[in-house]
Chains A and B, each alone.
Chain A
């Protein structure tokens, strides 16, 4: 099928000729996403049309034209996920970057953002106002709106929770082109509250992960921002060695080395009970080597990593803790005292780290993990700290079956970030493979998913069809929901219905 001329004309009338193109180069430029590219996207197809709406109204009109002519469409902004890459013909690729307004309400601590607003744009405006947003680990270049409805976890979730909780009133163009307004926006002009009225339809925005445009297009969203400590955040350096100097009287870093995983988990739980800190997260040895070798090329990394593998530290875990004097400088003193006591009690050692940051306030080094080459996938679990003890054992066992060609992680600890004062956490396990051996990575991913079913764990990127039968047939419910809101199956089809991506041999299905 090709796109009818009438459809093109109709779309052109909506946005103007400057903001629409079916040029082959424009389409090629829009057919691969970011994360997991090279692993999950070998079947992607260039879209039929690239279009740039400038407002929610234009998004509605485009969606309605798509429905009239039965053309699939996919909304994107930063496009840092491969899951938004088109897999069917004649997709209308709706790039929302023109919609980049942001409006900060300092008093009521929320910001209204359009999809084109990045975290760096927002954070830069907030820090100078004594406010803060929580930048995710994928980097501050990501779209605030898209990230909140996709994943939205951030290292500072220790204090302020998972992403979904920070979503307030929302404007959402459904797959049929109708606008749905959630929260206070449902009947007021204001965006200050996210839930209701009555049953909370914010529930439909996402699940463990977002729908990647499978249920329409979010065009405007209010998200929470947070008052933060006074003091100057000073950028320093020329890249690649840029860093943000933190107000030392209010923020301090400590590296806490614990003798075992179990002790580290106990330690993090105890910090939760103590209600101290702004961030509590392990630092995997892999990340340390990535940081050390940045700028020296993948060769240097793999050389040093191999050398490390001759005598890796499999047991000791480094937990990085940022303590904070939110209330006053005396809080910082208090938190340091508590931290010291807890570290001692759990048999650890503590050392101060410089009061600067590249990874959390603005996540400038977010994509460092890619420089070592090859392709990688992360197994990501949002659950309890204790769950991490289970999943890590299993992921290690499963990855050994395919190591090599998977890169050896030497059984070293991976990333555990604790959230909500220890109520829950994220575990992330990275596995790398050379470009030529991607099947091994895919087969590993498939095996991990099968294991998740067995042990009762829920990773993100789960396949609806694979997990549904074990999880109360939620796949059927998702199909029904899709049929209700997207009866023509046009909004990034077939999402949010996910088939298994790979088979046991790692072939894309």
Chain B
């Protein structure tokens, strides 16, 4: 018996891929990560199968790379050292919807669309990031700590608990989900992520599959507002927008709140790439703050009314004009926007990040809001210096935790079939990240080549992280070569 035979005996030949051409799509993703071919792709369906695969990997000292989405942007599912890709998309059940506690237990293969479609009839919604790809796993987005668009819901972690297969094959559950009899025979509903012993639910977030394979996650859902009012506030620069965001968030006003530059907003709204996109981009203001007031569960219009009044007062105090509910170039958007934002990107439509040139590389970091203008100008300078057209950069500023901090995201676009461009953009990307780190950008999610830059600097963190890795995965079979491992 060898690896192949053992693998087939666990999951069956129909769920084992070892044909080179069939494996090729798994060797790369939309990032600059150098393609690496896996030896196998395994499609397990159950926890037991996953455990057996993990034991197999330990037996043969062969790397494992977990994957749960049909699309990847950051190299997290590229097998740096080959081995087996554990594709979890067959595990795509919504295992439980606890409407009372607004807690949803999902398997890794559940996409955002699947999740939101299931929740909508119950007047619930999960907290998705900005327009995730339709094939993106909701679980993996949560694990990656992708920010939600509604700062007021950051009162607690969106992940409540999880179940993980550790790199030696043991099963562990976090928080109050670890109790005997969970979920059906326990008093606990699994809604507190504390413990046992340490906060396991936090440890695996941001781990990019290097510390274990998550088999389910309990995530929060919130009430889906039936009544909404959308506003679009134009700005010529990002800086003044942040002052408005700051005041709005301080006053606990509103639901979705995000700042997009015209490039990104046009990418989202355009129906036709090419001329239409360019036209829309010109029509839109340089920056648009998208701000939605959401009606409450009861008396929704009244909640919107007092929030709107407070919002207008803030605008007045800042010398800004009354807010507009319409956006040039996008008639009727104010009505459809809430549902658009509370869903995944529609299937069958070219993903908004790919429409311009076919691919894009995001640079995402966290920073205090009062540095947004500074970082914006800095990135434009770097781009200009490197001959990258500054009007072809997408910017997305997501306020976090009531506007305390933000995720600053800029996107560089390129043709994935043009190797010279790829080389140039990759160099620009790496150079930009280096410069941003020096300038004080915090990369809380260090993907790919950023990881080295970050971990070289974060000495004490790296040492501790390696100890954790060695503890949980002494053979370094999970995602070797990723992060600092």
The answer on direct contact between A and B (beta carbons under 8 Å) is yes
Chain B residues with CB under 8 A of A127:
none
A182 in contact with B402 given A107-B368, A383-B189 (CB within 8 Å):
no
Shortest C-beta distance, A125 to chain B (Å), equals 18
Chain B residues with CB under 8 A of A165:
155-157
B182 & A456 in contact (Cβ 8 Å cutoff)? yes
Interface membership of chain A positions 185-218, coded 1 if the CB is closer than 8 angstroms to chain B and 0 otherwise: 0111110110111111111111111000000000
A193 & B405 in contact (Cβ 8 Å cutoff)? yes
Interface membership of chain B positions 179-223, coded 1 if the CB is closer than 8 angstroms to chain A and 0 otherwise: 111100111110111111111111111111011000000001001
Residue from A184, A187, A192, A391 with most neighbouring chain B CB atoms (10 Å): A187
Chain B residues with CB under 8 A of A182:
461
A186 in contact with B440 given A192-B366, A422-B101 (CB within 8 Å):
no
- The answer to the question of B229 belonging to the interface, with a C-beta cut-off of 8 Å to chain A, is no
Q: Which A residues between 261 and 293 are near B, CB-CB below 8 angstroms?
A: 269, 272-276
Which residue from chain A places its CB closest to the CB of B101 in the assembled complex?
A384
Stretch at the interface among A82-90, A112-120, A327-335, A357-365: A327-335
Q: Which B residues between 357 and 378 are near A, CB-CB below 8 angstroms?
A: 366-370
Chain B residues with CB under 8 A of A162:
156, 192, 194
Which residue from chain B places its CB closest to the CB of A338 in the assembled complex?
B298
A334 in contact with B303 given A197-B443, A197-B454, A201-B468 (CB within 8 Å):
yes
C-alpha spacing A89/B350, complex, angstroms:
69
A328 & B306 in contact (Cβ 8 Å cutoff)? yes
Chain B residues with CB under 8 A of A183:
442, 444
Chain B residues with CB under 8 A of A368:
none
A180 in contact with B464 given A198-B207, A203-B202 (CB within 8 Å):
yes
Chain A residues with CB under 8 A of B210:
199
B444 & A196 in contact (Cβ 8 Å cutoff)? yes
Q: Which A residues between 289 and 340 are near B, CB-CB below 8 angstroms?
A: 326-328, 330-331, 333-334, 337-338
C-alpha spacing A209/B199, complex, angstroms:
10
Chain B residues with CB under 8 A of A199:
203-207, 210-211, 465, 468, 483
B188 & A383 in contact (Cβ 8 Å cutoff)? yes
- The answer to the question of B106 belonging to the interface, with a C-beta cut-off of 8 Å to chain A, is no
Chain B residues with CB under 8 A of A224:
401, 404
C-alpha spacing A455/B185, complex, angstroms:
8
- The answer to the question of A58 belonging to the interface, with a C-beta cut-off of 8 Å to chain B, is no
- The answer to the question of A449 belonging to the interface, with a C-beta cut-off of 8 Å to chain B, is no
Chain A residues with CB under 8 A of B458:
181, 186-187, 197
B310 & A420 in contact (Cβ 8 Å cutoff)? no
- The answer to the question of A19 belonging to the interface, with a C-beta cut-off of 8 Å to chain B, is no
A186 & B102 in contact (Cβ 8 Å cutoff)? no
Shortest C-beta distance, B58 to chain A (Å), equals 17
A456 in contact with B171 given A165-B157, A197-B455, A386-B101 (CB within 8 Å):
no
C-alpha spacing A227/B251, complex, angstroms:
8
Interface membership of chain B positions 382-422, coded 1 if the CB is closer than 8 angstroms to chain A and 0 otherwise: 00000000000000000001101100000000000000000
C-alpha spacing A181/B442, complex, angstroms:
14
B179 & A471 in contact (Cβ 8 Å cutoff)? yes
Shortest C-beta distance, B138 to chain A (Å), equals 17
- The answer to the question of A496 belonging to the interface, with a C-beta cut-off of 8 Å to chain B, is yes
Which residue from chain B places its CB closest to the CB of A324 in the assembled complex?
B252
B interface, size bucket: 35 or more
A337 & B299 in contact (Cβ 8 Å cutoff)? yes
- The answer to the question of B60 belonging to the interface, with a C-beta cut-off of 8 Å to chain A, is no
Shortest C-beta distance, B458 to chain A (Å), equals 4
Chain B residues with CB under 8 A of A108:
368-370, 404-405
- The answer to the question of B33 belonging to the interface, with a C-beta cut-off of 8 Å to chain A, is no
Chain B residues with CB under 8 A of A385:
100-101
A330 in contact with B306 given A108-B405, A182-B461, A383-B176 (CB within 8 Å):
yes
| B196 touches which of A387, A422, A453, A471 (Cβ 8 Å) | A471
B197 & A464 in contact (Cβ 8 Å cutoff)? yes
Which residue from chain A places its CB closest to the CB of B225 in the assembled complex?
A275
C-alpha spacing A480/B443, complex, angstroms:
30
- The answer to the question of B142 belonging to the interface, with a C-beta cut-off of 8 Å to chain A, is no
| A160 touches which of B155, B176, B187, B446 (Cβ 8 Å) | B155
B191 & A383 in contact (Cβ 8 Å cutoff)? yes
Chain B residues with CB under 8 A of A187:
437, 442, 454, 457-458, 461
Which residue from chain B places its CB closest to the CB of A276 in the assembled complex?
B296
B198 & A481 in contact (Cβ 8 Å cutoff)? yes
- The answer to the question of B19 belonging to the interface, with a C-beta cut-off of 8 Å to chain A, is no
C-alpha spacing A179/B459, complex, angstroms:
10
| B187 touches which of A161, A203, A334, A383 (Cβ 8 Å) | A383
- The answer to the question of B6 belonging to the interface, with a C-beta cut-off of 8 Å to chain A, is no
Interface membership of chain B positions 96-108, coded 1 if the CB is closer than 8 angstroms to chain A and 0 otherwise: 0000111100000
C-alpha spacing A206/B200, complex, angstroms:
10
Interface membership of chain A positions 402-444, coded 1 if the CB is closer than 8 angstroms to chain B and 0 otherwise: 0000000000000000011111100000000000000000000
Residue from A108, A189, A468, A484 with most neighbouring chain B CB atoms (10 Å): A108
A421 in contact with B194 given A199-B483, A275-B223, A458-B178 (CB within 8 Å):
no
A178 & B463 in contact (Cβ 8 Å cutoff)? yes
Chain A residues with CB under 8 A of B205:
195, 199-200
A456 in contact with B187 given A186-B461, A480-B471 (CB within 8 Å):
yes
- The answer to the question of B136 belonging to the interface, with a C-beta cut-off of 8 Å to chain A, is no
- The answer to the question of B253 belonging to the interface, with a C-beta cut-off of 8 Å to chain A, is yes
Shortest C-beta distance, A333 to chain B (Å), equals 8
Residue from B211, B313, B442 with most neighbouring chain A CB atoms (10 Å): B442
C-alpha spacing A484/B437, complex, angstroms:
31
Can you name 18 A-B pairs with beta carbons within 8 Å? A108-B404, A162-B156, A165-B157, A186-B461, A192-B368, A198-B483, A200-B203, A207-B199, A208-B175, A208-B195, A269-B100, A273-B223, A328-B310, A331-B306, A384-B192, A422-B100, A470-B179, A472-B170
Closest 7 CB pairs of A and B: A456-B186, A207-B195, A208-B195, A390-B187, A330-B306, A196-B444, A186-B458
8 further A-B contacts with Cβ under 8 Å, apart from A338-B299, A341-B298, are A181-B460, A189-B440, A192-B404, A197-B206, A198-B454, A204-B203, A384-B189, A458-B178
Q: Which residues of B does A touch, CB under 8 Å?
A: 100-103, 145, 155-157, 160, 170-173, 175-176, 178-182, 185-189, 191-208, 210-211, 220, 223, 246, 249-253, 296-299, 302-303, 305-307, 309-310, 313, 366-370, 401-402, 404-405, 437, 440, 442-446, 451, 454-455, 457-458, 460-461, 463-465, 467-468, 471, 483-484
